Amino acid sequence: MRLGLNIDHIATLREARKIHEPDPLEAVFIAKNVGVDLITLHLREDRRHIHEDDLRSVIKHAPMPINVECAIDPQITKIICNLRPFKVTLVPEKRAEITTEGGLNLEHPQLLPTIQTYLEHGIEAALFIDPGLENLERARALGVRVVELHTGRFSNLFNSLHSNFKHHKNRLDFPQEPSSLKALLDESLQELEQSALAGEKMGLEMCAGHGLNYFSVGLVARIRALQELNIGHAIMSRAILVGLERAITDMQEAIRRAR
Ligand code: PXP
């Protein structure tokens, strides 16, 4: 199973000071040294972390494939087609959101032409979708070869059940009783597993990500039909305390143990 390291938060830290460090490119070389398979960056419309310059330097110098997450937007499409990363993952984007909420709207009128533009430029096009058979069938009908399942709901349920998150001011509005939470978590994990299997049977390459951490990753990594996990926040949070190399290798180990 591949680990795609999302390095957005290196740029989030830099933007807190609006200076030139830390540089996301330095993280790419550390990641390479410990065998990270893929680097993921999100070029947001509001440029809150990654900027075009970051994309340009990472795509030019990284020794491994680059996956750019982005919204359906003609200006972004133009920038990315010029830079030609290995893969683009189309995600929904709302200006006010803290992070990507929910999967892509597969009925978006510009989705098909955007996918075709990337494919014509030799860039792999992936769709970030909510689990479910209907979404998989729609994705396949749109002509993509790769989809990424949104693990956000699973992750939020996991944290609500298994951590002190439920006591935190940022807690989410889920049922409080552990048995109800557990039932929802099981259901959400099952939905991920069934979707991964169904997608694999349809000939799609199945990836997953969002909100996974060192405790929850094993349950998802165990799903054999998944070939790639994209993880950022948990690794960068740990990296601040123990260093990036250790944070990455701890996550690689957690994934390896589950497979
Ligand atoms: N996959 C996609 C499509 C995302 O948008 C994100 C967040 O940018 C991630 C994975 C990684 O999520 P997290 O930072 O919560 O690990």
Q: How confident is the model at residue 95 (pLDDT cuts 50, 70, 90)?
A: low
Other CB atoms within 10 Å distance of the CB of residue 48: 14
- Please give the distance, rounded to the nearest whole angstrom, from the Cα atom of residue 67 to the centre of ligand 1: 11
The SS3 of residue 230 is strand
Ligand 1 within 6 A of 211 CB?
A: yes
pLDDT in tens, 172-215: 778 778 899 999 999 999 999 999 999 999 999 999 999 999 99
Q: Are the C-beta atoms of residues 49 and 82 closer than 8 Å to each other?
A: no
- Please give the distance, rounded to the nearest whole angstrom, from the Cα atom of residue 92 to the centre of ligand 1: 12
pLDDT at 94 over 80: no
What's the pLDDT score for residue 98?
A: 72
- Best of 46, 69, 156 to mutate for ligand 1, by most ligand atoms within 8 A of CB? 69
pLDDT at 97 over 80: no
pLDDT at 84 over 90: yes
Cα(63)–Cα(227) distance, integer angstroms = 20
What's the pLDDT score for residue 105?
A: 93
pLDDT at 96 over 70: no
Residue numbers annotated as active site = 42, 69, 210
Q: What is the CA radius of gyration of the chain?
A: 18
User: Which residue in 234, 204, 202 sits closest to 218, CA to CA?
Assistant: 234
Ligand 1 within 6 A of 42 CB?
A: yes
User: Which residue in 209, 221, 87 sits closest to 148, CA to CA?
Assistant: 209
- Please give the distance, rounded to the nearest whole angstrom, from the Cα atom of residue 6 to the centre of ligand 1: 7
User: Which residue in 60, 65, 111 sits closest to 87, CA to CA?
Assistant: 65
What's the pLDDT score for residue 174?
A: 80
Average of pLDDT values for 71-83? 97
